[in-house]
Amino acid sequence: MYFSYSITSGIKPEFIFPSTSDESTAYDYPDSLTCGCQIGDQSHKDKNWVISTAIFDLNKDDQGIRRFSTHLYPGSAPDGLATIIPVIDGNTMEMVDPESNTQITPVTESAEPDLLAQCHCGGVSFKIARPKAEFIANPESQVWLSPIYQNKWLACMDTCDDCRLVNGTHVIGWMFIPVSHLSPIPPTNLVIGSSKTYRSTTDVLRTFCDTCGATVLYSCQERAEIVDVAVGILRAPEGVMAENWVSWRAGRVAWLENGQRYHAGFSKALMEGLKLWGVKRGHPDEFIIP
């Protein structure tokens, strides 16, 4: 979930060496990115900046300098986190989108056999299949299947520091899929279309679109046959939470201690809101992600 500060007109961000404004890449044109982190936006009209709130090096003494106030354009992410997080730090979030619809809607099965995953510019595009019969029949596969619905994959919210700084977001949703269930099946380097790789640690490989910067995949050596797909690029017709395909772990957020350190109020709102949402929508409270 991307949060941002609107900077007062005429004020420009001061980049800290070795970073420079020239080294950041705009989505106006294809260029070379390094890790895909979303830094912010600059208006073409008035040149004012909107900066991601997730990239700052803050600690518990800085908690009071941020006040979340608004969900912008929730209608573009139907039935998403604007529904799950209506209040942060006691502040009721304003919905700025006249066409927004954040009401609870029935979840129905999609007629499409596969789920499309595609970044904003379309440079990265692939499809996800439902759990195949042979995968379900394998006892070792059960840890990757919904404890409630065998035809759905697992997903969770993650507030870890690495994901925050690589994505430029306070929280990211991950869906866990066997590589064999992606079409086309990615090569060993996981590059699909315009995606590019970034190794955040020696055993973790991440991919993102080299044009629009969208986060795509996460892979670690200890379970290389399973990849984490960024839920934000899913094109599920029922809404951004892709509930026809996903069982969310509603009772626990991954790496919550990182999120609590960085912003306790946001993490508390996410944890409480996700749990309530999960009860209403029938998602499991807990499962283990190997």
**Which of 85, 84, 94, 58 is closest to 260 using CA atoms?**
58
Distance, CA of 132 to CA of 135 (rounded, Å): 5
**Which of 162, 158, 161, 160 is closest to 172 using CA atoms?**
158
**Beta pairing partners, 182:** 128
Distance, CA of 255 to CA of 217 (rounded, Å): 18
Distance, CA of 177 to CA of 61 (rounded, Å): 39
Task: Express each pLDDT in 235-282 by its tens digit.
Answer: 999 999 999 999 999 999 999 999 999 889 999 999 999 999 999 999
What is the pLDDT, as a whole number, of residue 272? Answer: 97
What is the pLDDT, as a whole number, of residue 49? Answer: 65
**Which of 163, 169, 167, 153 is closest to 234 using CA atoms?**
153
Residue 180 structure tokens: 């064999």
pLDDT at 283 over 50: yes
**Domains along the chain?**
1-104+111-290 (2.170.150.70)
Q: How confident is the model at residue 129 (pLDDT cuts 50, 70, 90)?
A: very high
Q: What angle do CA 24, 199, 124 make, to 5 degrees?
A: 70
pLDDT at 223 over 60: yes
What is the pLDDT, as a whole number, of residue 218? Answer: 98
**Which of 77, 37, 15 is closest to 212 using CA atoms?**
37
Say what the pTM is: 0.81
Strands 49-52 and 40-42: antiparallel
Distance, CA of 227 to CA of 182 (rounded, Å): 10
| Residues 130 and 245 sit within 8 Å (Cβ to Cβ) | yes
Kindly state the average pLDDT of the residues 98-106. 45
pLDDT at 65 over 80: no
Q: How confident is the model at residue 75 (pLDDT cuts 50, 70, 90)?
A: confident
